Structure 1
Amino acid sequence: MEKENNDMESGFRIHNILLLESDFKRVPNVVFDDPAIKQDLQIGGEVKINPEKNIVSVIQTLHFSQIFNEEVQITATIKMVGTFEKTGESVIDLEKFGHVNGAAIIYPYIREHLTSLSVKSGVGIILLPPANFTTYNK
């Protein structure tokens, strides 16, 4: 059977996505459902490339905090790494793939991990918004 050309293939394969760091802290009396609650979200990424093996490693770090009346009530730091291999032809270079596609692939795993931690800690469900990684500029 002949393999059909699939236009949906990106030319990259996921090797793995691993949790590197997970830190979650809360105060004993977290305030829920108050309009004065503020959330701060910072997302950072680092891309490492092994051009000889066509391997891209993307390390994504999320820092989250929830503040009420100037008191930090919840903090979380989550760091994950994804390793990708270029397996075919792709018009996107390895660096851009890491910052845009790789980051977009890893981010839902980070969102899920924070949601799971928040439920287990009894602070309610923390659902992060989707992120647009296509705005990356070299």
Structure 2
Amino acid sequence: MTEQNSVAAQEEQSSQFSLQRIYVKDLSFEAPKSPEIFREDWSPAVELDLNTRQRALEGDFFEVVLTLTVTVRTGEEVAFIAEVQQAGIFLIQGLDAPSQNHALGAFCPSILFPYARETLDSLVVRGSFPALMLAPVNFDALYAQELQRMQAGAEVQA
């Protein structure tokens, strides 16, 4: 029994997750109808598009990029489009494939989201619009939905 505990403890010690760097990879803001849009009634409709991607770097390092694209309309007019690609470099060692995929697909984007949200808010305010104050996102739920979608797609192809 102690041997099993010892093996489990060694496996736990050999796995490692650490954040190496967080940075803005790309940033964009467009207000095509300014300054006229500032004179109209402000009744915004907010559309949020969220994407993540990851790629292996050297060794056990991975880059994860969270892209948030916000399109705000007032009526038929686009008030502004703001996009940020918030990225991070993560060291991930000793995890099995499913755990590593979960870390890259859910845990890392959860770490990046507050930075992306703050960057978007700052960008929008600099464009003279009210801050967005985006609600938190449950990346675990989104990751689980994506896994189900991929499994359903694989079953349809089979």
Structure 1 runs not aligned, ≥5 long: 1-9
Q: Secondary structure at the match of 1:43?
A: strand
Offset of residue 120 of structure 1: 1.7
* Superposition RMSD in Å: 2.4
Q: Does 1:122 align with 2:111?
A: no
Q: Secondary structure at the match of 2:78?
A: strand
Structure 1 equivalent of residue 18 of structure 2: 13
Query: Would you tell me which structure has more strand in proportion to its own residues?
Result: 1
Corresponding letter in the other structure for 1:66: V
* Length-normalised TM-score, structure 1: 0.80
4+ residue runs over 4 A deviation = 89-92
Match of 1:99 among 96, 105, 111: 105
| Matched ranges for 1:1-138 at <5 A | 11-26=16-31, 27-28=34-35, 29-30=37-38, 31=40, 33-34=42-43, 37-50=44-57, 53-86=59-92, 93-135=99-141, 136=143, 137-138=146-147
Q: Which has the higher contact order (CA 8 A, sep 6+)?
A: 1
Corresponding letter in the other structure for 1:42: D
Deviation readout 1:32-84 (Å, 9 max, x if unpaired): 653xx21000000002135x722221011111010111111110111121111
Larger radius of gyration: 2
Conservation of the 8 A alpha-carbon contact between 1:12 and 1:85: yes
* Length-normalised TM-score, structure 2: 0.71
**How many pairs were matched up?**
127
Structure 2 runs not aligned, ≥5 long: 1-14, 148-158
Distance 1:69 1:33, change over 3 A: closer
